[in-house]
Structure 1
């Protein structure tokens, strides 16, 4: 397993490489199915092979890259049935976390979700062409919402599932530029969280996953 960051808070070389590679995968710099040649990455990132291999191993554990026999690593590539399966799992996990979050959220949680939602709405309204910024704010909104449940293990699993389909969502929204349905659903989800309405938030989170999957599969 990759080495943990030092106790003094300074990230290790492998931790830094992991963060850069993960961001590159989620933002499409390294697209689905793309080959990740370690020699080329080592030169590009100015790193040695050992910490790079540690970073790649961690990404493999998280399901963002796959190791192919005799061909090295490649970014995870999903077909339609796999995307559908991941969204089915997302719906189940996020539905559970939503139910807990509606009862466990604190004032600080509500504030954090509200701020993420407001940022997302401002980007879409004032700068509709800045889809990448909207997508970053969208990720923050979902992370803040689900972390309101204060369930570390379930939240980590939910994040892993979201990350696996994030590149595809980015491709779809960059093509359609349409975030209206998503924003309406986000606002309703926040209001249910704020009201502590577990039944409604469960339903909204499941529907949001189902609608996102349907749009994505149509786009593909």
Structure 2
């Protein structure tokens, strides 16, 4: 085979590999975009998801879209309604309280573990997120969204400090189930003062390595969040 033919073949193989990678990543891309839309309230609780509209919006066929919806159903973010298709999960106040009761137990356990396992690197990372949160003034929907992203990152980093992979996975799944409602509550009240105080207390307990206190504060934080949410809704 001459040099030009070899170059042509190599280029064709590279292009095919790029195409294959694109095809393989498409379901994940659709899943991530749809999941983000649900969590951020772009698709509010109870909304029926029209596959034709979503396929056009994401530039994808129905196959990766159905795959994404199935995954989100298993995560508790979507539900399949007879003869209507998939809809964003809509929770009753009692269900929200049930989820937060579970979160309080799990996050209390994770917090207690984090206080014992945290390193200087963990403390530095959590502190950086806390300081960023404290600088955000909740005055617009955009700033509220920025605070919420930092809030999630703050708690995620504490979960990571605990080193409990399975506990963290369950905690994150439960948080995602109520995340749209938390965003609604913050959007309505624009008030995170109590949460900010509790975040600072949680951080101080993490620094002190006080397992009992951090576990208690994490549990109380969940209970207070649930109370504010139910009141706002």
TM norm. shorter chain > 0.5: yes
TM-score (norm: length of structure 2)? 0.87
Measure how far apart 1:38 and its partner are: 1.2
Deviations 1:104-158 (A, max 9, x none): 112221122111111111113xx63311111111111111112211111110100
Matching residue of 2:221: 208
The structure with the larger Rg is: 2
Matching residue of 2:49: 36
Q: Does 1:136 align with 2:149?
A: yes
Q: What are the residue-to-residue correspondences of 1:73-92 with 2, within 5 Å?
A: 73-92=86-105
Among candidates 168, 189, 193, match of residue 176 of structure 1: 189
Q: What are the residue-to-residue correspondences of 1:35-114 with 2, within 5 Å?
A: 35-114=48-127
Matching residue of 1:194: 207
Higher helix share: 2
- Counterpart of 2:162 in 1: which secondary structure? coil
Deviations 1:46-69 (A, max 9, x none): 001111111111111111111112
CA distance, structure 2, for counterparts of residue 114 and residue 65 of structure 1: 34
For structure 2, list consecutive stretches of 5 or more residues without a partner in the other structure: 1-20
CA distance, structure 1, for counterparts of residue 192 and residue 175 of structure 2: 17
TM-score (norm: length of structure 1)? 0.92
For structure 1, list consecutive stretches of 5 or more residues without a partner in the other structure: 1-7
- Counterpart of 1:14 in 2: which secondary structure? helix
Backbone CA RMSD of aligned residues: 1.4
Measure how far apart 1:218 and its partner are: 0.6
